[in-house]
Chain A
Amino acid sequence: MGKLTNFKRSLWVFHASGGSCNACDIEIIAALTPRYDAERFGIKLVGSPRHADVLLVTGAIPRDFADKLRRIYEQMPDPKAVVVIGNCGTTGGVFYDSYNIAGPIDEVIPVDVYVPGCPPRPEAIIDGVVKAWLKIEKLEKELEGKKE
C-alpha cells in the first residue's frame, strides 16, 4: 500500500443504492459501526454527494435510476472516486442482461474500484475505500500539477 501523503483531510463517502437487495448496504453500515469503526480513520458517510470524495454504489442499476446515478456522480467535487460494492454492481450478477437493467455500473459512470462479493465483508469494503483513497491522492497530485 502506498503512503498517504497528499490527501490530508478525512475521506467522506456517499452511498448510492441502485436497487440492491440491502445486503451490501448492511455491510457498508457494518463497516461504520463499532466493530470496524471506519469513522475513527475519518471515513465518514455523508448525506450529499456535494460533500463527498468517494461514491459507494450498490446494486444492479435499473434503467430509471441510471440518469440519477450520473447526476449524483456529476454533483461530486473533483477529485473523486467511485467504488462498486457487490457482484450486482460489478457484473450485473444474477440480473445480468435483464431488460430493466442499465448494465453493470461501469457502463453508467466511470468506476475506480470493484469490491466483489454477495455481499462483500466489511474488511473488503474498507480495503476498497482505502484503494479509492490512493486513487484520489493520485488525482489530486495531477490537479495540483495542472495548477502549477
Chain B
Amino acid sequence: MTWIESLTLNSPSGFWNPIVWLAFLVVFAVIGYLIYSRGNRSYKPNTDQVKPFLSGNEVEDVEEIRVRAGDIYWGFIEALKGYYSVLMRMHTGDVRDYILWYLGLGAVILFVLVGGV
C-alpha cells in the first residue's frame, strides 16, 4: 500500500483523500485568481460605485427593508391581539413550563374523562 493509498478513506459511496482535496483546492484557487485578476481595478471601494442601483435612492440597511417572517402574520396577530397577548406571556421558552402545562392539562382531561367514575 502506497502512502497516498494509506491516506485514502474508502466507503461504499466513494473515497476521500486529503491530497486530492488539496490539489483541487489549489486548482480552483488559481482559476479564481485568474478571474479576479481580469477584473476592473479602477473601481473605487467604499463609495456608491460598489453599491446596488436602486433608482438613485440611498441603499438602506438590509434590516430596514427586509420582510421578516413575523410580518407575514401581522394582520392575523393584530386581529387576535387579546388572545395572543395572553399566549405570548405564557410562551416563556422554558421547556419545564411547557411540561407543567402538559401535565396540568393532561390531569384535567383525565379528570373529565374518568374522574367521575
Contact = CB atoms under 8 A, between A and B. Distances in A.
Contact of B42 (A65, A72, A78): A78
A50 B53 contact: yes
B11 to A, nearest CB: 46
Contacts, number: 34
Interface in A75-120: 75-79
Chain A interface main SS type: helix
Contacts of A74: 47-49
Interface string A5-32: 0000000000010000000000000000
A68 B55 CA distance: 8
Contacts of A71: 48, 56-58
* Size category of the binding interface on chain A: 10 to 19
Nearest to B44: A78
Contacts of B40: 77
Contacts of A79: 42
A76 B40 CA distance: 12
A143 B42 contact: yes
A16 B41 contact: no
Contacts of B49: 74-77
B10 to A, nearest CB: 49
Given A77-B42, A78-B42, A147-B41, A69 B47 contact: no
Give me the 6 closest cross-chain CB pairs, A-B, nearest first.
Answer: A68-B56, A74-B48, A48-B53, A78-B42, A72-B56, A75-B48
